[in-house]
């Protein structure tokens, strides 16, 4: 069974329900937060949120690959990749919620 995806709109709704701000204020705050996060990753190549995890951006070099349809060799261009690593605290919380 697949869980439902949490969207930006659902985040806005959840914050709206817990605060005395109007929906458009909450939407602006969420947008600002996401913009700050994006800029941090672009500029610093890392964003750490204590107790949650760390986003890191790094450059991947050009590499050889192949076209699966024609099996022809191609060169894949360099690109930027973003990875997310859970904090140890959050990982432990997830493990407690889902015993094997």
Which tens digit of pLDDT belongs to each residue from 18-64? 999 999 999 999 999 999 999 999 998 899 999 999 999 999 999 99
Cα 72 to its chain centre, rounded Å, is: 34
pLDDT for 100: 56
The model's confidence at residue 12, banded by pLDDT at 50, 70 and 90, is very high
Could you tell me the residue ranges of all domains in the chain? 1-43, 45-100
pLDDT for 97: 74
Mean confidence (pLDDT) of the chain: 92
In this prediction, residues 95-100 reach a mean pLDDT of 72
pTM: 0.75
Q: Which two tokens stand for residue 25?
A: 């204020």
Q: What is the distance between the alpha carbons of residues 15 and 34, in angstroms, rounded to a whole number?
A: 14
Question: Where would I find the beta strands (DSSP E) of 6-87?
Answer: 46-49, 53-60, 63-66, 73-76, 79-86
Length of the chain: 100
CATH of 45-100, one of 4.10.520.10, 3.40.1280.10, 1.20.1250.20, 3.40.190.10: 4.10.520.10
């Amino acid at each position: 069974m697949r869980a439902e995806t949490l969207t930006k709109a659902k985040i806005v709704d959840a914050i709206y329900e817990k605060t005395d701000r109007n929906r458009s204020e909450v939407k602006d705050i969420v947008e600002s937060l996401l913009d700050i996060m994006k800029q941090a990753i672009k500029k610093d190549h890392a964003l750490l949120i204590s107790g949650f995890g760390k986003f890191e951006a790094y450059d991947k070099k050009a590499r050889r690959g192949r076209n699966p349809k024609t099996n022809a060799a191609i060169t894949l261009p360099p690109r930027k990749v973003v990875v997310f690593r859970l904090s140890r605290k959050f990982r432990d919380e997830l493990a407690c919620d889902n015993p094997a």
